[in-house]
Chains A and B, each alone.
Chain A
Amino acid sequence: MLYNPPSPLETRILSRRFGLPNSASLDTYLATDGYKAFKKALEMKPEDIIEEVKVSNLRGRGGAGFPVGMKWSFVPRNSPKPKYIVVNADESEPATCKDRLLMEYDPHQLIEGMLIAGLSVDARVGYIYVRGEYRYLIEILDKAIAEAYAKGYLGKNLLGSNFSFDAYTHTGAGAYECGEESALLESLEGKRGIPRIRPPFPAVVGAFQCPTILNNVESISAVPPIIRDGGAAFAALGVPKAGGTKLTCLTGHVNKPGVYELPLGFPVDKMINEVGGGIRSGKKLKAFIPGGSSCPVLTAAECEGLTMDYDAMAKKKTMLGSGGVVIMDEDTCMVKVALRIMRFYAHESCGWCIPCREGTAWIRKILTRFHDGMGRRDDINLLGDLAKNMLGRTFCPLGDAAALPTISIVEKFREEFEAHLDGKPCPYERELVTA
């Protein structure tokens, strides 16, 4: 049972099996070209596997958008240390709910991706770090893993080769910061999810201090299609420098919220109005977040002519991010949005570094007071100032993730802040939301 109906405008590569009966089973997978890419990869040279991924222009689908093939090439394959594949299934970026579906409906695609990644750097063990709240997916993944072992797609000497691979699931327990690669690795080692000093990066010093490929679920899931049908084919689906498709999560004030697989470069207005069925209740678009709450917010005007692509978003001084799209209509209180977003980051800040720990807490307090009607005029500039003091100065990108949306909202929706001054009630609310 799918959570939302598919859209005819989708290009379903990674999600091709969504909706099939027993889509998660090995039989279904094998009947739909499953593990063919792995068989092909077994005959390829490791460098060629990596090259194919580079050719595909696949960029990290977790949020950072770093070219996946290049990341793989940083792993010192000849290191005497064992190497690992770690899948980041911590999916906690607000507005993001796509990795969930890939694991629920097509766990074998993920496993096959891990195998191919393993071949490219001679890694023999893989871990899928799943956020604690996704317990049902651990059961699904464990079942798929057991099936794979039973039928010889995991374990020793796979398909008669001398390549062996073991895969495990590992649960988190509620921490957004554990989606940050190095914090995830710390959590995997049984410690507090505090990021590591970088460099060195996980490719060289990763899981258990060994070289590691660490990628998002969607990134790894894209690997079997890339190897099976060729990197060029994948690249062609997208735009130059950003190949393939992206599972996009439409959320907020649209008529047809849902997860849709759209090619990179898909126009934003088509996405909102055709895929998403337009804004609810005939309202107008006020604000737009392209990829999770860590992105700067765009006004409706800024969305004109915009496409869902890493570089196009960067030009508009925001990010494609995780693909968690938030659509806000004209009745949305942007101050409340800013508050709720900062509340999230203050709650999730790991506490390691001063600017994030103290900055998120302070900004949250100001915004709470502001939304409650006790804001001062100076606070508006102070908010932007404090957020800028955090930007680029924190130990990990969480500080930036907290600062960027705040700065954008204060700059672009300043009049909404002014409307809350002098004890005036929130123009959009009758009830106050306790923060």
Chain B
Amino acid sequence: MTFSPQLEARFEKLLTSYPPGRQRSAMVPMLLYAQDEVGSITEELVEEVARRVGVTPMQVEEVLSYYSMLHRKPLGKYHVQICTNISCLLTGGAELWQHACRKLALGHKEVTADGQISLEEVECIGACSWAPALQVNYDFHHNVTPEKLDQLLDSLRKAQ
């Protein structure tokens, strides 16, 4: 499997970041960074990562199925993760979630037909004092109101 030069460079750095004989430590970072580029953890990617860190594909499967951010099916280009945990719940996070679902006609972990946007109801993302909050891919949005959410979703629909 071929990756971009930047990703390859990242992989290379990873493999030297751990003590000798401990390349397995690179597995989770590798999977996450590769997922960012490839879109999802495919069978091919599982075997590639297994090969690079020196484990069996099954050991990769065991790990990838444990972590919430690793997924086998591609999500949208813009993955909107709305937190509804306690601090966001108290400040309107659940309502934001329902609003987003209705507006995009999507459910949890579903993708729009054009693959542009997907939604996920997530656990605490660490923005509790500026709630309700959400992430689009890795970018934080704080103090989100229904209006701000509308603006955001509209802009994501059109974004490249």
Q: Which residues of A contact B (CB under 8 A)?
A: 3-4, 82, 91-97, 99-100, 125, 131-136, 168, 170-176, 187-193, 208, 249-253, 257-259, 289, 293, 324, 326, 328, 332, 336-337, 340-341, 344, 347-348, 350, 431, 433-434
Contact = CB atoms under 8 A, between A and B. Distances in A.
A73 to B, nearest CB: 24
Contacts of B70: 173-174
B90 A192 contact: no
A171 B34 CA distance: 13
A190 B84 contact: no
Interface string B111-132: 0000000000001111111110
A134 B130 CA distance: 16
B129 A4 contact: yes
Contact of B130 (A4, A176, A190, A208): A4
Contacts of A176: 123-124
Interface string B130-156: 110001001110100000000000000
The CB with the most chain A CB atoms within 10 A, among B53, B68, B123, B128, is that of B128
B26 A190 contact: yes
B53 to A, nearest CB: 7
Contacts of A252: 86-87, 90-91
B29 A170 contact: yes
B13 to A, nearest CB: 9
A175 B68 contact: yes
A176 to B, nearest CB: 7
B101 to A, nearest CB: 9
Contact of B67 (A134, A174, A324, A326): A174
Contacts of A99: 126
B75 interface: no
Contacts of A171: 28-29, 32-33
Given A173-B68, A252-B91, A324 B26 contact: no
B124 A95 contact: yes
The CB with the most chain B CB atoms within 10 A, among A95, A125, A175, A324, is that of A95
A336 B22 CA distance: 45
B94 interface: yes
A170 B130 contact: no
A133 B126 contact: yes
B42 interface: no
B90 A332 contact: yes
A337 B88 CA distance: 11
Contacts of B26: 190
B43 interface: no
A131 B28 CA distance: 11
A216 B62 CA distance: 27
Given A92-B123, A97-B129, A3 B69 contact: no
23 contacts: A4-B130, A94-B124, A95-B87, A96-B128, A97-B127, A97-B129, A100-B126, A125-B19, A132-B67, A136-B140, A170-B17, A170-B29, A173-B28, A190-B28, A190-B63, A192-B66, A251-B129, A326-B87, A337-B89, A347-B68, A347-B123, A433-B84, A434-B98
A4 B67 CA distance: 31
B27 interface: yes
Contacts of B22: 189, 208
Interface string B47-82: 000000101000000110011111000000000010
B40 interface: no
Contacts of A344: 85-86, 123-124
B32 A95 contact: no
B124 A190 contact: no
B24 interface: yes
A175 B70 CA distance: 11
B94 to A, nearest CB: 5
Nearest to B91: A252
The CB with the most chain A CB atoms within 10 A, among B22, B28, B129, B131, is that of B129
A96 B33 CA distance: 26
Contacts of A249: 128-129
A134 B126 contact: yes
A94 B25 contact: no
Contacts of B85: 94, 293, 340, 344
A226 to B, nearest CB: 25
A191 B63 contact: yes
B31 interface: yes
A142 B62 CA distance: 29
A253 B92 CA distance: 11
A94 B86 contact: yes
A174 B135 CA distance: 13
Contacts of A190: 24-28, 53, 55, 63
Given A175-B66, A326-B87, A96 B126 contact: yes
Given A189-B25, A340-B85, 12 more contacts: A96-B126, A97-B130, A133-B138, A172-B67, A173-B32, A188-B25, A251-B90, A253-B90, A293-B86, A344-B86, A350-B66, A431-B95
Nearest to B32: A173
